[in-house]
Amino acid sequence: MRQITVSELKDRLDAGDSPLLLDVREPWELRVCALPGALHIPMRQVPARLGELDPDREIVVVCHHGVRSYQVVRFMEQQGFTNAINLAGGVDAWAREVDPEMAKY
C-alpha cells in the first residue's frame, strides 16, 4: 500500500499536482475542519459509491488519523484501484505539521 506524508502532499499540491482528495470522515468531522477541494464520501458509503471514482486517477484518501483511510485504500486496492494512497496521520497531522491554524479535534 502506498502512503504519503502530509508534507509530501503539501509539496505536491504546491507544485500543481492535483490528485483527488477523498475524505472518508463523518459529516460532523468535516464541519470541524477539512482540506480544501476534497470530495467527501463517508467510509461506510464507499462500497456503494465506488463507481463514482475513476480507478485510474490518483486518489489520496484522508481521515482523522490515517486509520480509516488506510482501511479504505486496502478496500479500493482489492477492487482494482491501483493509484489509491493513504494520507499518513490524516487531517490531524495536516493541522499539526502544515496548517497550525486548522481546527483540531
Residues involved in catalysis: 63
Q: Please answer whether residues 2 and 89 qualify as being in contact, where contact means their C-beta atoms are separated by less than 8 angstroms.
A: no
3-state secondary structure (DSSP) of residue 44: helix
- 40 phi, psi to nearest 5 deg: -105, 120
Report residue 72 as a C-alpha cell.
479504505
